[in-house]
Amino acid sequence: MTIRIHPIKAFNDNYIWTLINKNNKQAIIIDPGQAAPVIEYLEAEGLEMIAIWTTHHHHDHIGGVAELQEHFPMTHLVAHSEHNVDEDQTIKDGSIVNAWGCSAQVWDVSGHTASHMAYILDIDGHKHCFCGDTLFSGGCGRVFTGTIEQLYASFERLSNLSDEALFYPAHEYTASNLRFGLSIEPGNVAMQQALIQAEEKTNQGIPTLPVTVAHEREVNVFLRADEPSVIAGVASKMKLDDEKPLTIFAALRELKNNF
Output the pLDDT for position 215: 98
Output the pLDDT for position 1: 63
- Residue in 205, 124, 197 with CA at minimum distance from that of residue 166: 124
Output the pLDDT for position 216: 98
Query: How many beta carbons lie within 10 A of that of residue 237, not counting itself?
Result: 13
The tens place of each residue's pLDDT in the chain, 259 residues long, gives 689 999 999 999 999 999 999 999 999 999 999 999 999 999 999 999 999 999 999 999 999 999 999 999 999 999 999 999 999 999 999 999 999 999 999 999 999 999 999 999 999 999 999 999 999 999 999 999 999 999 999 999 999 999 999 999 999 999 999 999 999 999 999 999 999 999 999 999 999 999 999 999 999 999 999 999 999 999 999 999 999 999 999 999 999 999 9
Output the pLDDT for position 2: 87
| Vertex 32 angle, CA 52 and 44, to 5° | 90
Cα–Cα distance measured from residue 18 to residue 259, given in angstroms and rounded to the nearest whole number: 32
Cα–Cα distance measured from residue 61 to residue 10, given in angstroms and rounded to the nearest whole number: 10
> How do the residues of the chain divide into helix, strand and coil, expressed in percent and rounded to 5?
35, 25, 40
Cα–Cα distance measured from residue 128 to residue 211, given in angstroms and rounded to the nearest whole number: 10
> 158 near 135, Cβ under 8 Å?
yes
> 174 near 206, Cβ under 8 Å?
no
Backbone angles phi, psi at 153, to 5 degrees: -65, -35
Is the CATH number 3.60.15.10 carried by domain 3-257?
yes
The structure's pTM equals 0.97
Cα–Cα distance measured from residue 206 to residue 199, given in angstroms and rounded to the nearest whole number: 10
- Residue in 121, 80, 94 with CA at minimum distance from that of residue 210: 121
Output the pLDDT for position 197: 98
Sequence spans of domains, the chain: 3-257
- Amino acid 189 reads V
Peptide bond between residue 210 and the one before it cis (omega within 30 degrees of 0): yes
Helices (H), the chain: 36-45, 59-62, 65-71, 148-158, 174-184, 189-203, 213-219, 228-235, 245-257
